[in-house]
Structure 1
Amino acid sequence: MSMPRGTTDAPGRLMRELDWNLLRTFVVLAEAGSVTGAAEKLRLKQPTVSAALKRLEDRLDKRLIERRPGHFRLTEAGELLYREAVEIQGSILRLSTLMREVTDEVQGHVKIAVASHVVCPLFDATLAEFHANHPKATLSIDVMTSRDALAAVTAKAATLAICLVRQRNPRLEYLRLYREFFGFYCGPPHRLFGRRDITQKDLAGLPTVSFETDRLHDVLRPVTLMRAEAELGERIVGQSSHLEEVRRMIIAGLGVGPLPVHVVRRDVEDGLLWPLPPHDRRPAIDVHVVWNPHARMNRAEEAMLSGIKERIERTPIEERTYA
């Protein structure tokens, strides 16, 4: 059937004429926040980057970036294109790996993005079983903030993430891996260390150390509320996105700080940390496995995801709760 006069096959024309290099340049430009920064990353001249943006806007017939001196912002169309282009980029990067893995034996690489200091026997058992069943497959585990771990999964740059979740992205899938509880601790130099007569009132006004996500609108909101209830000082003297560094500052005596109870149990036994009240109202924090159902996974990735999902489904949450 012929198309009505005056109309064109816009989607088909876009598919034929759109150059992937233009999309790649746009992704770098959006992430760099300036033409100068994008040109440096791409090792191109600034006029070349500006011309690429102009060609892309002409092809799409949409303004993608609002630019003027001191102002750089993606338009609504630009935000939409950036999200889609990041996913396309992730799919293209995976093509060569997928083609190499056409074989009878499960092999391939699994990249896992993990929040700082995940301590979970169920996850460890999954890794052991995976390696025993698929010795030719390889693994890499990158430690990063929960926000970055989720971004890596969204961009198809990681197979799965193990992290805290504040707000769910409808494009991703989530399963609770385990539940942990946070308590307050101090280190040997602190004046409360070793005291057994401490009450919650003794914490009022004390300097604190905490995580960057210890805020009312972020993933450690329950910890923020516990800190407020204990009337700890509002001034946080030390912050980090990594548990190991928060632990380091607490042990060094910078201030009182929150840590997962099961993670630092050995430190308490070794005399490096001292638990503080409240002991009976510790907030629960859930750690999730997150993956992108739109990502094309290799066989090793499918095996890893299947293994961890099966273990979660057959293990009651009580056995995945670390008090």
Structure 2
Amino acid sequence: MDIDHKFAFQLDWNLLRTFLVIAEEQSITRAAHRLLRGQPAVTQALQRLEAELGCKLAERGKGAFRLTAAGRKLQAEARRLFDGVAQLPETIGQLQNELSGDVRLLVATYVVTPLLDDLLAEFARSHPKVRFSIRVETSSEVIRDIRERQATLGICLVSREFPDLEYTHMYREFFGFFCGRTHPLFGRDNLKMDDLRPYPSVAFDTEEIDNALQQIVMLRSAWGLTRVVAGRSSQLEEVRRMVMCGMGIGAFPIHVVQDSVERGLLWRLPPYEDPPEVDIFLTVNPRKHMNRAETQFLADLTRAIRHTPLEERTYRG
């Protein structure tokens, strides 16, 4: 028996499962909670795996956790292995025709579209044995994880197209500026962009000049709205929270926060005409092996996008 087979037979595969949860949660504490185990036991499992492999898998400190290069590589390989194991019941159980399996979906924080909601509802009714795992990440994290084959599908903004991925234009949305009801501009009509200049901003972490939100960044910059940034977050709900608390002016997809406007929690600010537009894409890694459920869901979603005219996939608010 060669050395590779010895390692495979001697390795405690539960260590890999524990590591995968640690890597996904980016935290020993959260991994322990998810695994229903004590934190010392999870820490010991990580240390045992590092000893088995002879390398450091994660850098840990006070309030910080980061996978090493070896850890990220192991995460990708462990996910591939566990995806294969997860498919065994389906592979062996082709005796039954009913569709089953797991669909892993990554979405950016501000993805709101009836295309996805309607398909999820219909798919769940038609295939009750299919299980979904939906994770919210920044668009750059979605692209990274799809490239590393850690999930099946990604829905996000795209600032740069990688040749190893496939992109389908899913929908178009428009961003507007908003303030909360304690803000001095709340309730005022016929404002001009100059009226916004004296006030601080609240921004997404991803508002950079070289990414998909560059139109919002350029608009802020052109009107001098970037001098004071009172708060930042990668999550739409937290940016909205800060704006509603009166910390500053924030940019949101108009259709996403329409309900908050109607409830009197947010107030629309200029520009009222020709607001910045942003395209959202369905992103797939063609090299990732998909189970039957993933293949069917991707086919159904792609079909729904292509059979819906772009105008109906454009949300102006």
Bin the TM-score by the shorter chain: 0.7 to 0.9
Moved over 6 A (4+): 13-21, 44-48, 81-84
Matches within 5 A, 1:1-323: 43=44, 49=50, 52-53=53-54, 87-101=76-90, 102=93, 103-323=96-316
Q: For residues 83 and 45 of structure 1, what CA distance do their matches in structure 2 show?
A: 14
* Structure 1 residues 166 and 14: alpha-carbon distance in aligned structure 2, compared to 1, 3 A threshold: farther
Secondary structure at 1:181's aligned position in 2?
strand
Give the RMSD, CA atoms, in angstroms. Answer: 3.5
* Structure 1 residues 53 and 228: alpha-carbon distance in aligned structure 2, compared to 1, 3 A threshold: same
Secondary structure at 2:87's aligned position in 1?
helix
Q: For residues 158 and 183 of structure 1, what CA distance do their matches in structure 2 show?
A: 31
Task: Indicate if the aligned counterparts of 1:210 and 1:240 stay in contact, CA closer than 8 A.
Answer: yes
| Structure 2: stretches of 5+ with no match in the other structure | 27-40, 56-67
Q: CA deviation at 1:84?
A: 6.5
Q: For residues 281 and 147 of structure 1, what CA distance do their matches in structure 2 show?
A: 27
* Structure 1 residues 174 and 222: alpha-carbon distance in aligned structure 2, compared to 1, 3 A threshold: same
Identity %: 38
- Per-residue CA deviation, residues 268-310 of structure 1 (Å, 9 max, x unaligned), is 1221111111111311111111122111111111111111000
Residue 127 of structure 2 aligns with an amino acid whose one-letter code is H
Q: For residues 45 and 233 of structure 1, what CA distance do their matches in structure 2 show?
A: 43
Q: For residues 202 and 161 of structure 2, what CA distance do their matches in structure 1 show?
A: 28
Secondary structure at 1:258's aligned position in 2?
strand
TM-score, with structure 1 as normaliser: 0.76
Q: For residues 155 and 46 of structure 2, what CA distance do their matches in structure 1 show?
A: 39
- Per-residue CA deviation, residues 223-269 of structure 1 (Å, 9 max, x unaligned), is 10111122214221011111111111111110111011111112212
Q: For residues 310 and 3 of structure 2, what CA distance do their matches in structure 1 show?
A: 49
Q: What is the number of equivalent residue pairs in this alignment?
A: 284
